[in-house]
Structure 1
């Protein structure tokens, strides 16, 4: 919470400034959250629910309810129940696969507000949002590239959607910045976002192929636990996973969904956001907005267990010159968190693994290009459904 003291103060001033002017609603707002996984998954759904609790506890005028473990094809029925039986004013859907169902419901309930995570379809009463990890995955890749002894990094991915492809590519680009020959071996589950058994099998198979560092996108701590059993470093995902393998989780990607929720709900309460003006509202919040954080745990960017190794590993960086990997990580972190966004991991020249120039020199990909990414970067190995020619 302490990271958002200033932000919370600002949105409170915004809300209650409007109250003083008589422009804010006098009654409570009720929001219903829909999760694709169980809130005990320690991953995506868990992180969303932690953020829901924070904003619910902070805003006295906000009441929230949630429904967990909703199959993506059943979201419309759940939305109907939340609106017609629970009486919610705002529906928050938190999975890419909920996108079409959310849009359909938004069209059927034009007086309600909808807030969809990770999608790109909007309507007058439907906004979108994302706290994206491509910057943090790049930093994780830099760390992983320095820690690997075999040059083989493993990645367990739930589904081959552009979001995961973007993150895997960022991880590979970061690794090859310090270890030009590093490879990222990918295994797709294509079963569920929460599949501990599948994640365990995939991680074991990657280790059998010589992988000695693991990262993942699946909503359980299984991969870090498997890595620890083999004495290998890994990277947590969405929530702090340091506690599951304190000697082996090197870093990870941490999310602060509450940063976005604080802003969005405050603006609804203040009357700035209505069911008629959300078609162009799209939050794409990164390090500079405080929506994501590098770390094995909150406030722990790099696990102290790995600090000495990273400090003693020197590289000749094209921008920073002779520098330790430890210092390079923090230099890049500072540049990416800068309000002017001084560095993007997807700044050219970047070629895909087929040799095609995807990002020309001096060009950085736009948000639209990032969220529709299908190509695989150099160093990525394995199946890549939807890969363009």
Structure 2
């Protein structure tokens, strides 16, 4: 049988085409690990040259045992390598004891003023969202910088989620099986985001996909998204899902709200203290009562109160899945001005070689929250 030259060339190109497809498939996860900074675009002007900052111990929201002391030291060293002066651990421990700080997840007004009196310009607050060791390790963190003084204000917030199989590459050569190696890369990306924001870089956004848009949404016709608002985010209600999921989704929403210059997002520690003072510390989920309380001028003076319910938050193993509803109340005239429902899986819309896969619940939650808040705020 005689075969033409063009036929032979097609057969010769098949292995090359297969190699290209495999490489693309192996690199599919890379597009999902980009950290996009969130925060005020005037951050450089707000940071004091050579100022002293505090680094609170990491709060464990992972529902897993994690080497927190080791992670604290790793994070402290990474910040110092980037030229950040930090309050010594012994002085911080004494301060937390004197202030009776039981929570690592935020600061209240009294603590903020005490930090300023101590010569501390701001405080880094970090939540460990996911920690999994094993064959396919996973780690996710959310971190923010809060200014100290008479009005603790979020200056910068961002997060990163990584999985060992996010970019396996050809023949699995890109797999990361050491959780500490994975963590080092995660911290590097997270703090690179802070350094970029400190230098005045514009906040980035992930490419929006239709599958991440809310499945249902409503916004009151008389709401003006361009006006300026003080925004309080209260913990979301866990509905039969993993421990701390409500806190985690709340932080993702805070992160996305912080992108908009007309929205002043109140430090979660202030919100917690306000609920405590009104004996509403167990308050979770959407509530007109909470909106009225936090809107009071002698409490927080919040114009908008944000909350919701979390129905699924799965990402410790296997396919990531996130499902939550979002409600936003007006504190000025108690009414619902926004409601939406977002859900999805990391493998949604993925058909060939994991192209487009979102490997971590952290990133999936971030994309769902970004899409929902984007619809609300624009």
In terms of fraction of residues, the more helix-rich structure is 1
Give the TM-score, by structure 2 length: 0.29
Q: Larger Rg: 1 or 2?
A: 2
Q: Which structure's relative contact order is higher, taking Cα pairs within 8 Å and 6+ residues apart?
A: 2
